[in-house]
C-alpha cells in the first residue's frame, strides 16, 4: 500500500515536471516564433540600421538675380557636426564635453541642441554645431577614431552678396520651427529644414526650395563609413530672376545713408520695381550662418526697428504730395480751371478756424503756380469745394487707400478717409473742417511710400495703374508655378489734366520750385516735395522734426521711371528727400546714355 502511494506521488511529480518542461518549451517556441518570424521585419530593420545608414543630402536653394542676371543671393559650402547616439561607446554628455574643449561652440549650446532632439530615435543624427571653421573641421577629423559617434555633414548655406543691400526685398532664411511644421505653410517640411522667413525668400520659398537627396552607406561596428551603397542626388531649387537693378538699389541705399527712410524706383508702364530700399536694414547673412544671441538682441532692441520694411509696411501722411491728386480731382470735377486765380494772404479761415499757409502769402496764384509753389490756401479752397467724399473717391481711383499687390508679404493698405470710413471706424460723423487738413495731405490720410510712388506714376502716364512686382509672372509660370496675371487698371482722366500736372511738377524741379535738388542735367525731371508734420507746430521741438517727401518721374512728358523718397524726421522734402531721388535718377539716365552710346552704329554717328 505504502509502495503504491509512493509510486503515485512519484508519477504526479513526474507529470508536474514534464508539464513545466512542456510549458517552458512552449514559451521558448513562442518566443522563437515571435522574434524570428512575427517580429522579423522589426529586428531586420534594427540590424540594417546597425549596418547601413541613410545620410540626408540637403538641396541648395535657388539663386536670386537682379534684372541683369547679377547674383544677389546664392549658396556657399559649409560643414555641420552631427552626433549619432546609437552604438556610441560613451554618453552624449561625455562626447559633448570632449568636443567643447576644442571647438568654438560652448558645451551649453551643444547640450541645448541635444535636449531638443533627445526624444528622437537613437539612430537619427542630431545636429550639434553648424558651419564649422577650418580649425573646427581639423579638430573633428583628428578625433574620428576616438569619437566614432560624431560625423561631419555637408550643407549648402545661403550667401548674400551685398551685406545689407536689398535686405528687405530679399529677406532671410532660418530653420523651420515645430509650430510651423504643424501648420499649413510648411506642413510638408521636416525638422531641421531651412525655409524663407521674410521678403522674397518667403514669398517664393516653394520655388527656391529644392528636393533633398540621400546617401546609403555601409558602416562597421564602430560606426565608421566603409562603403557607399547608393546615392540619390539632391535637386537644387529653381533660380529667381527679379526686376531689381543693383546699380539703382545701391544708389538709393548710399544716398539714404544712415538716415531712417525709404527710396523706391519703379517703371510705371510695366510695374517693374527697380529699387526698393528701406533703412535701417539688417544683414541677412547673420541668419544664414546662425545669428548669435547678442546680434539678435541688438537688432530687436534697436528703436528704429531694422526689420520693418518701411516701403510697404509703414504708412505716413503724404503731406503736400497729396496736392497732385487734389489738382487732378478738381480739374476732372470742373471745380477749377487752369486760369482761375485764388488770393493767398498767408492763411484763411474755414468753419471758424484759421488754416495757415507755409508762406506769408503767395498773392493771386493760378492752379499751376499753386502746385509749383505748394500754396496751402489754394488747396484748402479746393478741398472745401470738393468735399471729403469726392476727394476720397478720386484718390482711391488713383491708387491710394489700397494695397498695390506687390509680391512681398505684409503690405499695408494705407488709409484714404471718407465720411463712411469715419462712421465705420469711430461711430462719428465727418466734419467739414476735417476736409481742410486732408486737402494738403494731413489728418487721417496715410500712405505707404511704394503706394504713393505707384499712384503718382500711374497718373503721370495717363491714368494707368500697373501692379508693382519684383518677379515677372511669366518667369514664374515657366518655372512651373501657377500664378495670376499682373493687374493693370485704367481710370478716366483727361489728357489736359495729365499735361497740367506734368508741366507743374516739371516747374517744381526746374523753375525755382522746391524740388530743384532732384534735377538731372540733360533730362527733364518732374516731381513734388512734401513735408508731413509729426506734431502740431505749437508743440514743435527738434526731437519731432517733420518727415520729408519727394515723389517724381522722368522724362516729365513721357515718363519712363517714377521715384519716391521718404526720410523720417528729415525736415524739408527739397533738402532731405530730393537729393536721394536725384542719385537714383542720375544712375538710371547714366546707364541709359551708356546703352544708347554702345548701341549707336557708325551710320547713326555720321548723321549727327
- Tens digits of residue pLDDT in 505-527: 999 999 878 899 999 988 999 99
SS3 of 444-465: CCEECHHHHHHHHHHHHCCCEE
SS3 550: strand
Is the backbone peptide bond immediately before 314 cis, with ω within 30 degrees of 0? no
User: Could you tell me if 52 and 217 are in contact, meaning their C-beta atoms sit under 8 angstroms apart?
Assistant: yes
Q: Which residue has the higher pLDDT, 608 or 80?
A: 80
SS3 558: coil
Confidence (pTM): 0.83
**Residues in the chain, how many?**
608
**Does residue 48 have a pLDDT over 60?**
no
Give CA torsion, residues 243, 244, 247, 249, to 10 deg: 150
Is the Cα dihedral 85, 87, 92, 97 positive or negative?
A: negative
Cα distances (Å, whole numbers) of residue 417 to 29, 425, 431? 85, 10, 12
Strands 341-344 and 363-366: antiparallel
> What is the mean predicted confidence (pLDDT) over 477-497?
90
- Report d(CA 414, CA 252) in Å as an integer: 23
Predicted pLDDT at 307: 94
User: pLDDT tens-digit profile of 118-155?
Assistant: 877 777 778 888 888 888 888 888 887 788 888 888 88
Expressed in angstroms, the distance from the first to the final Cα of the chain is 145
- Any idea what DSSP says for residue 485? P
Strands 225-232 and 526-532: unpaired
pLDDT > 90: what percent of the chain? 53
Least confident of 250-254, 437-441, 529-533: 529-533
Query: For residue 589, how far is the Cα from the chain centroid?
Result: 28
**Does residue 437 have a pLDDT over 60?**
yes
Is the Cα dihedral 194, 195, 197, 198 positive or negative?
A: positive
What is the average pLDDT value for the chain, to the nearest integer? 86
Strands 240-241 and 347-350: unpaired
> What is the mean predicted confidence (pLDDT) over 258-276?
97
CB atoms within 10 A of CB 54: 15
- Report d(CA 598, CA 608) in Å as an integer: 15
User: pLDDT tens-digit profile of 50-70?
Assistant: 566 677 778 889 999 999 999
Amino acid at each position: 500500500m505504502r509502495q503504491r502511494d509512493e509510486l503515485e506521488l512519484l508519477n504526479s511529480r513526474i507529470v508536474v515536471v514534464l508539464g513545466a518542461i512542456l510549458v517552458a518549451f512552449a514559451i521558448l517556441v513562442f518566443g522563437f516564433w515571435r522574434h524570428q518570424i512575427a517580429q522579423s521585419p522589426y529586428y531586420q530593420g534594427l540590424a540594417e540600421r546597425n549596418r547601413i545608414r541613410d545620410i540626408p543630402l540637403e538641396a541648395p536653394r535657388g539663386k536670386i538675380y537682379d534684372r541683369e542676371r547679377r547674383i544677389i543671393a546664392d549658396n556657399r559650402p559649409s560643414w555641420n557636426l552631427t552626433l549619432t547616439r546609437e552604438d556610441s561607446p560613451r554618453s552624449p554628455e561625455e562626447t559633448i564635453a570632449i568636443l567643447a574643449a576644442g571647438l568654438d561652440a560652448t558645451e551649453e549650446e551643444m547640450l541645448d541642441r541635444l535636449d531638443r532632439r533627445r526624444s528622437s530615435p537613437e539612430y537619427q543624427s542630431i545636429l550639434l554645431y553648424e558651419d564649422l571653421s577650418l580649425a573646427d573641421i581639423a579638430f573633428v577629423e583628428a578625433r574620428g577614431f576616438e569619437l566614432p559617434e560624431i560625423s561631419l555633414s555637408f550643407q549648402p548655406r545661403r550667401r548674400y552678396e551685398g551685406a545689407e543691400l536689398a535686405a528687405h526685398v530679399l529677406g532671410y532664411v532660418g530653420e523651420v520651427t515645430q509650430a510651423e511644421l504643424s501648420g499649413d505653410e510648411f506642413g510638408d517640411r521636416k525638422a531641421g529644414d531651412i525655409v524663407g522667413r521674410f521678403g522674397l525668400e518667403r514669398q517664393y520659398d516653394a520655388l527656391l526650395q529644392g528636393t533633398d537627396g540621400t546617401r546609403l552607406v555601409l558602416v562597421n561596428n564602430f560606426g565608421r563609413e566603409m562603403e557607399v551603397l547608393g546615392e540619390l542626388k539632391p535637386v537644387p531649387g529653381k533660380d529667381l530672376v527679379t526686376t531689381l537693378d543693383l546699380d539703382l538699389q545701391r544708389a538709393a541705399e548710399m544716398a539714404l545713408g544712415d538716415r531712417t527712410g525709404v527710396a523706391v524706383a519703379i517703371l510705371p508702364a510695366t510695374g517693374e520695381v527697380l529699387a526698393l530700399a528701406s533703412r535701417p536694414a539688417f544683414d541677412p547673412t547673420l541668419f544664414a550662418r546662425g545669428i548669435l544671441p547678442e546680434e539678435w538682441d541688438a537688432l530687436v532692441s534697436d528703436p528704429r526697428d531694422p526689420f520693418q520694411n518701411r516701403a510697404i509696411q509703414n504708412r505716413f501722411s503724404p503731406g503736400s504730395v497729396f496736392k497732385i491728386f487734389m489738382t487732378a480731382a478738381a480739374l476732372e470735377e470742373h471745380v477749377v480751371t487752369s486760369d482761375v486765380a485764388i488770393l493767398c494772404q498767408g492763411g484763411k479761415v474755414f468753419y471758424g478756424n484759421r488754416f495757415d499757409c507755409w508762406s506769408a502769402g503767395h498773392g493771386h496764384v493760378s492752379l499751376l503756380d499753386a502746385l509749383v509753389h505748394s500754396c496751402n490756401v489754394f488747396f484748402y479752397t479746393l478741398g472745401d469745394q470738393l468735399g471729403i467724399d469726392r476727394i476720397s473717391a478720386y484718390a482711391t481711383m488713383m491708387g491710394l487707400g489700397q494695397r498695390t499687390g506687390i509680391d512681398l508679404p505684409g503690405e499695408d493698405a494705407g488709409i484714404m478717409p471718407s465720411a463712411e470710413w469715419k462712421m465705420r471706424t469711430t461711430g462719428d460723423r465727418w466734419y467739414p473742417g476735417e476736409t481742410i487738413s486732408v486737402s494738403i495731405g494731413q489728418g487721417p490720410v496715410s500712405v505707404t511710400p511704394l503706394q504713393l510712388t505707384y499712384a503718382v506714376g500711374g497718373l503721370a502716364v495717363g491714368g494707368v495703374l500697373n501692379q508693382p512686382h519684383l518677379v515677372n509672372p511669366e518667369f514664374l509660370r515657366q518655372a512651373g508655378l501657377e500664378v495670376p496675371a499682373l493687374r493693370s487698371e485704367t481710370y478716366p482722366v483727361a489728357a489736359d489734366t495729365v499735361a497740367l500736372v506734368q508741366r507743374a511738377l516739371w516747374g517744381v524741379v526746374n523753375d525755382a520750385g522746391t524740388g530743384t535738388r532732384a534735377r538731372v542735367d540733360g533730362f527733364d525731371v518732374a516731381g513734388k516735395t512734401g513735408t508731413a508734420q509729426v506734431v502740431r507746430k505749437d508743440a514743435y521741438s527738434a526731437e519731432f522734426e517733420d518727415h520729408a517727401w519727394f515723389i517724381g518721374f522722368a522724362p516729365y512728358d513721357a515718363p519712363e521711371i517714377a521715384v519716391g523718397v521718404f526720410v523720417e524726421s528729415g525736415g524739408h522734402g527739397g533738402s532731405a528727400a530730393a537729393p536721394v531721388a536725384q542719385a537714383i535718377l542720375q544712375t538710371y539716365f547714366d546707364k541709359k546714355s551708356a546703352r544708347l552710346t554702345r548701341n549707336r552704329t557708325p551710320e547713326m554717328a555720321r548723321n549727327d
